[in-house]
């Protein structure tokens, strides 16, 4: 039996799971030049020096020196003449600037809070987890259903510096990237769309698309008897379905890869299934642990669900975006097709859980190629899309 709860959660990866780290290991970031001992990459969850090599470069602050003031005498003479007076003036100015900054910050937060409450109506709790809480709601102007996600400041693990110098949550940056250049993506994108976001100082609030009706894939599997028949996970004729769950997830993952986005925690709880028609539609949710990557980026701190950690991290203390994403898709498919299955990497590697021989040979091949212990032997997302089991003719 599955041991996980069936209720959807906004961040169903526990703090313990995302604290799976290596101790005192140098970050590997191949293709980025030699490691700089004084340069910290990534983000430290425990404030103990554990590092994650993210491919997006966090903007660096630069110190600037103002030109010498006055025109007579050297800078040394100027410092002697004005040292005491300028220190007093500087202290006063700093105090005024600090007080002004505090007032501006409070005003900004209060303005944002008022704007949020004026625009959206918050209703019942949809789920609560280690990373925050999600509420049902709707946009007052047109009653569009939304999910309002509240994330405490301490749970915003990763930050991204934008081109304008603004520092924002990577989750926000990733979701903005997903919708950039494609207006009107609500209801059409592979990932649930970000509609609005508000920085309220002590918490980050995201307003997200909320498909109605929908359940997460874990609940969907349970509603269908604990597993899905193989034909439920294959491509049928165009008359009945264009893409089913796995094919949709592979294409969603390929879309993320094309935009250099690494979800890092694809699992049944983070897949939303729209159930408004006979054809289920899969949507990716919860980008709280996601990041931007480059093709040669390596990571030595594992962010995600510890039960689904890729084998290479257990043996080499490192993993990459592409092979890890394919591994996670294999885990999702395994849990879809095996009754009441709760996948665990170590158990699978010890052959304590196995791929069912009752599945078709093509389906078994997909699982074996996704769940290969060696990352270089796994299919790429492009190869997976072209696999016979997933590329059955839609015109038949």
pTM: 0.72
Q: What is the CATH number of the domain that holds 159?
A: 3.30.200.20
The secondary element (H helix, E strand) that includes residue 206 is strand 203-209
Task: Indicate the angle between helix axes 321-337 and 245-258, nearest 10 degrees.
Answer: 170
Q: How far is CA 264 from CA 37, 129, 171, 299, 328, in A?
A: 26, 18, 12, 11, 8
Q: Give a yes or no: residue 251 inside a domain.
A: yes
Q: Which residue has the tokens 């949020």?
A: 116
Q: Give a yes or no: residue 42 inside a domain.
A: no
> 218 and 204 share a domain?
no
Residues 6+ apart with CB under 8 A from 81: 73
> Catalytic annotation on 44?
no
How do residues 337-376 score in pLDDT, each as one tens digit? 998 889 999 999 999 999 999 998 999 999 999 999 999 9
Q: Give a yes or no: residue 240 inside a domain.
A: yes
> 250 and 165 share a domain?
no
> 205 and 242 share a domain?
no
Which residue, of 151, 179, 210, is where some domain finishes?
A: 210
> 159 and 221 share a domain?
no
> 159 and 112 share a domain?
yes
Q: Give a yes or no: residue 12 inside a domain.
A: no
> 343 and 391 share a domain?
yes
> 262 and 393 share a domain?
yes
* 383, 388, 394, 396: CA torsion to nearest 10: 160
Q: Give a yes or no: residue 185 inside a domain.
A: yes
> 337 and 222 share a domain?
yes
What is the spatial distance between Cα 214 and Cα 221, in angstroms, rounded to a whole number? 13
> 136 and 201 share a domain?
yes
Please check whether residue 235 is in contact with residue 396, taking contact to mean a CB–CB distance below 8 angstroms: no
Which residue, of 152, 185, 210, is where some domain finishes?
A: 210
**Domain, as residue range, for 255:** 213-396
Q: Is 367 helix (H, G, I), strand (E, B) or coil?
A: helix
In degrees, rounded to 5, the angle at the alpha carbon of residue 334 between the alpha carbons of residues 189 and 190 is 0
> 206 and 225 share a domain?
no
Q: Give a yes or no: residue 189 inside a domain.
A: yes
> 260 and 303 share a domain?
yes
Q: State which residues of the chain have pLDDT below 70.
A: 1-107, 129-130, 181-188, 231-243, 392-396
Residues 6+ apart with CB under 8 A from 171: 151, 156, 158, 206, 287, 288, 290
Q: What is the CATH number of the domain that holds 238?
A: 1.10.510.10
Number of domains in the chain: 2
Please check whether residue 227 is in contact with residue 339, taking contact to mean a CB–CB distance below 8 angstroms: yes
Catalytic residue selected from 265, 286, 340, 365: 265
What is the β-pairing status of strands 203-209 and 167-169? unpaired
> 205 and 301 share a domain?
no
Residue of 5, 1, 10 lying closest to 204 (CA atoms): 10
Q: What pLDDT is stored for residue 271 in this prediction?
A: 95
Can you read off the two tokens belonging to residue 23? 């101790």
Which residue, of 193, 210, 227, is where some domain finishes?
A: 210
């Amino acid at each position: 039996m599955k041991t996980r709860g069936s209720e959807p959660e906004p961040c169903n990866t526990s703090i313990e799971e995302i604290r799976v780290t290596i101790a005192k290991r140098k970050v590997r970031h191949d293709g980025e030049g030699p490691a700089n001992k004084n340069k910290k990459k990534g983000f430290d969850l425990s404030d103990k020096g554990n590092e994650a090599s993210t491919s997006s470069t966090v903007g660096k602050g630069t110190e600037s020196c103002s030109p010498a003031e006055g025109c007579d005498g050297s800078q040394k003479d100027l410092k002697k003449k004005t040292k005491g007076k300028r220190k007093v003036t500087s202290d006063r100015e700093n105090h005024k600037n600090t007080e002004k900054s505090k007032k501006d910050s409070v005003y900004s937060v209060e303005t944002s809070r008022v704007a949020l409450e004026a625009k959206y109506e918050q209703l019942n709790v949809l789920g609560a987890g280690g990373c925050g809480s999600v509420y049902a709601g709707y946009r007052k102007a047109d009653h569009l259903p939304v999910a309002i996600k509240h994330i405490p400041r301490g749970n915003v693990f990763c930050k991204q510096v934008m081109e304008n110098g603004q520092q924002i949550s990577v989750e926000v940056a990733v979701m903005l990237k997903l919708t950039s250049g494609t207006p009107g993506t609500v209801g059409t994108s592979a990932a649930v769309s970000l509609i609005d976001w508000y920085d309220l100082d002590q918490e980050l609030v995201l307003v997200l698309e909320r498909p109605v009706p929908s359940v997460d894939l874990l609940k969907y599997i349970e509603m269908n008897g604990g597993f899905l028949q193989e034909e439920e996970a294959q491509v049928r004729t165009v008359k009945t379905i264009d893409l089913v769950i796995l094919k949709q997830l592979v294409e969603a993952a390929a879309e993320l890869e094309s935009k250099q986005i690494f979800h890092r925690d694809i699992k049944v709880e983070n897949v939303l299934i729209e159930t408004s028609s006979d054809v289920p539609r899969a949507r990716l949710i919860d980008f709280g642990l996601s990041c931007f990557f480059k093709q040669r980026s390596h990571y030595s701190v594992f962010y995600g669900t510890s039960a689904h950690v890729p084998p290479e991290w257990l043996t080499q203390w490192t993993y990459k975006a592409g092979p890890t994403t394919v591994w996670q898709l294999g885990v999702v498919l395994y849990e879809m097709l095996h009754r009441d299955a709760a996948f665990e990497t170590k158990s699978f590697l010890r052959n304590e859980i196995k791929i069912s021989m009752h599945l078709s040979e093509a389906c078994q091949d997909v699982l074996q190629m996704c769940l290969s212990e060696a990352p270089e032997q796994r299919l790429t997302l492009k190869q997976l899309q072209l696999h016979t089991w997933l590329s059955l003719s839609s015109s038949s």
